[in-house]
Every structure is written in structure tokens, then in C-alpha cells.
Amino acid sequence: MSDPDPKQDSPEKAPAASGTAPESGAETKEKKSRISRAAHEAWEKSFGEGTWTENINPLNWPKKSWLFFKNFFTELTEVEEEEKDVKKEAEKKVAREVLKTDSGQLSEQFVEAATKESSESLLPEEKEAMEIMTEDLLEAAKATGEPESVVVVADRIKQNAEQNNQSPERVTDSEMRLCFVTGLFTLIRLKERFDDDEGKLADFLDRVKSAGAKSVKIKDLSLYVRNHFTKLLNFKLTDIPDLLGMDKTDFLTSLNPLPSASEKMDKGLDIVLPEIFPSTVRDKGLAPTRKIFKDIVERKNNITTRDIAKIIAMLDDDDLRELAKRIGGNKVKTVTLASVKETEERKQKAKAEAEKKAAEKKQADEKKDEAGKKPAPAEAKPDQKAKAA
Amino acid sequence: MLETNNQILDDEIERLLETSSIAPLLKSILRASLYTMPHANKLAVLESLRKESKKLLILKAKQEKIIEKYRGIMGKLSKNGQS
């Protein structure tokens, strides 16, 4: 970093420094106003609010003096870039240790979402849905004695959503995605908790009843979780065979334990779907409800029911396998593996296409080289000129 | 003894997290993971945070220096503008 030399930035040298085509009056005016605004902001950022006066405005200085200002920003920006690198490096190292510690409960995707920044904003309705969803996650996490990390993260998302109403800070895509992944982990852990302790299942069912459910027919919790999991993804269990091109009876018999395939098809499957609960439970359930999730996803990305299955593909293969292992059911496992398969096929297809294009390019380059080596084109040039004439 | 050491480590990590530039959500996750984190991993986290803190201090000083350098020049320039 060298000290700026006033002589170096003398007015005489300025046109060469800009080196661009002459600007129109309007363009110059706009540019000046932009510089002025940027200078004002940057000055107050560096020297404190209220210290800016029009005398400082580089546009009021002798013509080229504001180049000093430019130098100043350039040097500051360099430092800011270095700061970003330091931040990134620290995040990477800390995330690595956190992942090692949490024995796979936190995925890389999860941590990545926690550190990624996005400027894209959500609609007010989405923010509202997000708050409700986070509220649900928090409730679910607290009620089932979730590991603190999930509660903390969900709480943080909630805080961000609340701040949103007062500040320009926005709930980002990455946070929404984080919320989704948190939701998945919450459901997985919910199942684990109940698997470990049948008493908790009884408590849970009591809570559901006292919350106003007309009847609870759940005999097998894994079914509850599977149903709830599919609710989260916004499709019914009955949609899954269709989604995967499977025979419905085969699919239903793979669910365990249920009385009979036909009975399941008639009424058993939707045991925890909205109609069984009054609206209060439906809209403020223990986990993200179908309605809320649908609101968020559809408004955000215009995603159809089927596309939601693809969200699963956002998780990497290890996560998907872990998910399948934790959920346990044959069906979800199949969904997971199908997603993996689909992702792999897509990757392979893209790879094959890239290779094909590369081969074609290589061939074209070789042809060009060969053509370049032949003396004939040089001789043919006058002919071509004549033709052109 | 190990518990005391762990407590010291936790406190030191917490202190460094206050000024760390890492994403808030990652901070939350790290804080929540601390109580289950093995000693060796905590040491690695501490080392990373210390390095980060040191580098940030250097960069902060660099920034101050730039501001200081230009403050004088700008003062002169604004006077020129006024005249």
C-alpha cells in the first residue's frame, strides 16, 4: 500500500486514467450523483455519523481530487476482502469440528445452510408461515426433549423472522432451507425418542388428545412419523407408489403393521392427516403442517407436489442414506434410494453430455489446426477476396 | 481436572466467539455442541478461533491505518474545495 501522491492524480492526467468513451450530460450527472452518495455513505461508515459535510463531497473538490477517494475505497475494499477470507476459513474449520462432534446428526448441508448468505427475500405471507413453522419446530423439539442444538437453531430462525418486521434484515433462502432440514431432523429424532421410550409415546398421544383431537387411532408410532414425514413433503402415503411407479398393494404391504392392504387404502393411511384433527391442531400442530409447508414452498418457488420430492435430492447421498436408516420404514427407504438414483442418473447424464461436447470441441479444434497447417488457404485468399467483391 | 480444563476451554471459546466474524447460526450450533464436544475437537476449534481473532486484529489495525492516512489528506482536500 503506497501513500497517494497528489501529483499523480493531477487534473491533467485524469482523462487518461478514465480511458473511456465520452459520456453524455445525463450519464455524467448520474455518475456524479452515484459517487456523491457512495462517498457520503463510505465517509460516515469510516469517520462516524454526522461527520459528512458538502465540503467533503469529492464532487466539490478540484476536478480530479476525488481520485484520492477512489484510492481510499480500493484500499479499504482490499482489507474487507481479506476479512471475508478470514471469516470463511474460520467457519470452515469450526464447522468441521462441529460435524465431527455431532455424530452425523448435523449434516454438512445443515452447517452450510447456517453459513450461507442470500439476498433473496421472502414475501410477508412467507415470513408469517415461516414463523409458525419455526414455532411448531420449537414446540416439537422442546416437547420431545430435543438436543439443544435444534432448539437453538430454530429459536435463532424465529428471532430472525421477528426482527424482519423491524429491520431490513431478511429471512434468507438458506435459513428457510435450514428450517426444512431442521424439520427433517426433528421428525427423525421424534421417532427415535418414541422408539426408545414408549411412555413418551403415551404422553404424546395424551397431549394430542387434550389438544382437541377427536380420536387418535395411532397404534404404531413409526406409521405416525412416516405419515407426518410425508405430510412435511406435502404428499400422502397413497401418492408415493404412484410417484415411484410402484404397485399400490406391494407398497401398502410393505408398511408395517397395518391390518390389510384394502383397509389401509380405504381409511387407515390418513390416520394423522388433517381431517382427524380440528383446525386448531391442524394449523398449529406439533410439526410443520402440510398447509404451512405448502404455503411456504409453493409461494416461494412455485413448486408442485411432485417437485417437493426433489428437495430431498438437495441432501447429499450420505444424508439420504442416514435419513433412510433413521426413518427405518421400507417405503421411505425406497423414496430415498429413488432420489439418490435419480440424482446419480442426472449427474451421469450431465457428465456424458459434457464429455460429448468436449469430444466434439476437440474434433473441431483438430480440424481447425489441420486447416491452418495447409498452405492452400493462403493461396486461396485472393480468390476469396474476388468472390467477396 | 479434565472438567476444569474443559470449563477453561469453553470460557475461552465463548470469549473468542463474542468477537468472531463467523455466521451467527454457526455460532449457535457451535455453542450447542460444546457440551458434547471431545477435548481434542474443542482444542481445534479454539485454535481456529484464536487464529481468526489474530488475523482480524491485524486487519483492523490495517484498516485504522488506511483511515488515518486518508483522514489527513481528505481534510486538506476539503479545505481546498472550500476555498
C-alpha cell recorded at residue A118: 442470500
**Interface touch B49/A101, C-beta < 8 Å:** no
Q: How confident is the model at residue A94 (pLDDT cuts 50, 70, 90)?
A: confident
**Interface touch A115/B66, C-beta < 8 Å:** no
Q: Which residues contact A315 (CB under 8 A, 6 or more apart)?
A: A107, A109, A181, A323
Helix (H) or strand (E) holding A117: none
Q: Which residues contact A366 (CB under 8 A, 6 or more apart)?
A: none
**Interface touch A75/B66, C-beta < 8 Å:** yes
pLDDT, tens digit, 9 for 90 and up, residues A117-155: 543 344 444 444 444 444 554 555 455 444 444 445 445
Contact indicator for A249, A102 with CB cutoff of 8 Å: no
Contact indicator for A132, A181 with CB cutoff of 8 Å: no
Q: How confident is the model at residue A219 (pLDDT cuts 50, 70, 90)?
A: very low
What pLDDT was estimated at residue A172?
Answer: 42
Q: How confident is the model at residue B56 (pLDDT cuts 50, 70, 90)?
A: very high
What pLDDT was estimated at residue A202?
Answer: 54
Q: How confident is the model at residue A160 (pLDDT cuts 50, 70, 90)?
A: low
Is the pLDDT at A178 greater than 50? The verdict is: no
Contact indicator for A315, A177 with CB cutoff of 8 Å: no
What pLDDT was estimated at residue B46?
Answer: 93
CA distance linking residue A363 with residue A360, whole number of Å? 5
3-state secondary structure A40-64: HHHHHHHHCCCCCCCCCCHHHCCCC
User: Taking the CB of residue A107, how many other CB atoms lie within 10 A of it?
Assistant: 21
Q: How confident is the model at residue A357 (pLDDT cuts 50, 70, 90)?
A: confident
Q: Which residues in chain A touch residue B18, judged by CB atoms under 8 angstroms apart? A: none
What pLDDT was estimated at residue B68?
Answer: 80
Is the pLDDT at A350 greater than 80? The verdict is: yes
CA distance linking residue A306 with residue A313, whole number of Å? 12
Q: Which residues in chain A touch residue B66, judged by CB atoms under 8 angstroms apart? A: 1, 72, 75-76, 79
Contact indicator for A303, A297 with CB cutoff of 8 Å: yes
What pLDDT was estimated at residue A108?
Answer: 55
Per the listing, cell 420430492 goes with: A309
The letter for the amino acid at B42 is K
Query: Could you say which of A68, A95, A98 has the minimum Cβ distance to residue B73?
Result: A68
Helix (H, G, I), strand (E, B) or coil at A9: coil
Contact indicator for A96, B45 with CB cutoff of 8 Å: no
What percentage of chain B exceeds 90 in pLDDT?
Answer: 28
ipTM: 0.86
3-state secondary structure A248-312: HHHHHHCCCCCCCHHHHHHHHCCCCCHHHCCHHHHHCCCCCCHHHHHHHHHHHHCCCHHHHHHHH
Q: Which residues contact A131 (CB under 8 A, 6 or more apart)?
A: A158, A161, A162
Show the CA angle centred on residue A274, arms to residues A195 and A161, nearest 5°.
85
Q: Looking at mean pLDDT, say which of A47-51, A326-330, A335-339, A367-371 comes out highest.
A: A367-371
Q: Which segment of A132-146, A210-224, A345-359, B5-19 scores lowest on mean pLDDT?
A: A210-224
Q: How confident is the model at residue A248 (pLDDT cuts 50, 70, 90)?
A: low
CA A71 to chain centre: 37
What pLDDT was estimated at residue A23?
Answer: 56
Is the pLDDT at B39 greater than 80? The verdict is: yes
Is some CB atom of chain A closer than 8 A to the CB atom of B4?
A: no
Q: Which residues in chain A touch residue B30, judged by CB atoms under 8 angstroms apart? A: 94, 98
Is the pLDDT at A355 greater than 70? The verdict is: yes
Q: Which residues contact A22 (CB under 8 A, 6 or more apart)?
A: none
State mean pLDDT over B12-30: 82
State mean pLDDT over A354-365: 87
Is the pLDDT at B81 greater than 60? The verdict is: no
Contact indicator for A285, A137 with CB cutoff of 8 Å: no
A322 vs A270: which has the higher pLDDT:
A322
Q: How confident is the model at residue A375 (pLDDT cuts 50, 70, 90)?
A: low
Whole-structure pTM value: 0.39
Is the pLDDT at B51 greater than 90? The verdict is: yes
Show the CA angle centred on residue A78, arms to residues A77 and A84, nearest 5°.
85
Is the pLDDT at A97 greater than 70? The verdict is: yes
CA distance linking residue A79 with residue A249, whole number of Å? 64
Cα→Cα distances A304→A126, A161, A171, A294, A298, Å = 17, 25, 22, 9, 7
CA distance linking residue A175 with residue A232, whole number of Å? 17
C-alpha cell recorded at residue B62: 490495517
Query: Could you say which of B42, B56, B82 has the minimum Cβ distance to residue A83?
Result: B56
Q: How confident is the model at residue A14 (pLDDT cuts 50, 70, 90)?
A: very low
CA distance linking residue A84 with residue A101, whole number of Å? 26
Contact indicator for A131, A158 with CB cutoff of 8 Å: yes
Contact indicator for B70, A72 with CB cutoff of 8 Å: yes
Min Cα distance A91 → chain B (Å) is: 6
Q: Looking at mean pLDDT, say which of A38-47, A125-134, A355-364, B19-28 comes out highest.
A: A355-364
pLDDT, tens digit, 9 for 90 and up, residues A198-211: 555 455 445 444 43
Q: Where are the beta strands (DSSP E) in chain A?
A: none
What pLDDT was estimated at residue A226?
Answer: 41
What pLDDT was estimated at residue B49?
Answer: 95
Max intra-chain CA distance, chain B: 70
The letter for the amino acid at A49 is E
**Interface touch A47/B59, C-beta < 8 Å:** no
